[in-house]
Amino acid sequence: AQKITQTQPGMFVQEKEAVTLDCTYDTSDQSYGLFWYKQPSSGEMIFLIYQGSYDEQNATEGRYSLNFQKARKSANLVISASQLGDSAMYFCAAAPGYSTLTFGKGTMLLVSP
Amino acid sequence: EAGVAQSPRYKIIEKRQSVAFWCNPISGHATLYWYQQILGQGPKLLIQFQNNSVVDDSQLPKDRFSAERLKGVDSTLKIQPAKLEDSAVYLCASRKTGGIFGREGQETQYFGPGTRLLVL
């Protein structure tokens, strides 16, 4: 079974600073997808960024980038120039092959003024 | 493009009662998922449909949970009878295809707003 590890239960960052949220995954599949989702207090899971295992370049989406280190099975999310609205739970997820998403336990990010 | 719709948004029931949740995926999305998210945890898959066929229901407690997607579009998830430990957020998600992750581009799952269930 796949396992996603997010070691940071909570992170604090000041507005306009960058923050890195850690994620490691465990799969023996060669083909897989890695995802980050944001879940604000309203409860909806908002897709942020995707990285395919065969993608050679790190994915970027606006202020979000995914630091993909395949050999280390690491998929850290980097948020640049944090905003107050970034305060939320962040989930890392992986989907090997045809399998469904397996989520980590999440990291709570709090952005202070 | 409209997102994934779910109803109701909130439900409070007593244990041993039954409850049903409804989901309408993004138009044209063949794959539909139901997840259970207990407070403080990440979502856990309950069941996956490809069109109107069940692909994976290995984590669905079949003695009390059931789900259907009769016409391959919207879906209902039912709990009968409910237990206290069923209190959670039930999330529906959809995906355009059931293709292999990592090979076929950005085949992202999109989530609905969820239904918050409280069993008393």
Q: Does A66 touch chain B (CB under 8 A)?
A: no
Cα distances (angstroms) measured from residue A78 to each of A18, A49, A69, B55: 7, 11, 13, 34
Rounded to a whole number, what is the distance in Å from the CA of A47 to chain B's nearest CA? 7
Report which of residues A13 and B40 the model is more confident about.
Answer: A13
Task: Quote the CA–CA distance of B82 and B13 in Å, as a whole number.
Answer: 8
Judge whether residue A2 has pLDDT over 80. no
Residue of A nearest to B95 (CA): A100
- Cα(B58)–Cα(A4) distance, rounded to whole angstroms? 19
**Cα distance between residue B114 and residue B99, in whole Å:** 24
pLDDT tens sequence across B54-92: 999 999 999 999 999 988 899 999 999 999 999 999 999
Q: What is the DSSP-derived secondary structure letter of residue B120?
A: -
C-alpha span between B78 and B115 (Å, rounded): 12
Tell me the pLDDT tens digit for each residue of B18-33.
999 999 999 989 899 9
User: Smallest Cβ distance to B113: which of A44, A93, A98?
Assistant: A44
**Residue type for position A104:** G
Count, in order, helices (H) and strands (E) of chain B. 0, 11
Chain A, nearest residue to B4 by Cα: A44
From the list A46, A47, A100, the residue facing B48 with the nearest CB is A100
B102 contacts A54? CB cut-off 8 A: yes
Q: pLDDT of A14-32, one tens digit each?
A: 999 999 999 999 988 888 8
What proportion of chain A, given as a percentage, has pLDDT over 70?
97
Nearest to B103 among A31, A44, A46 (CB): A31
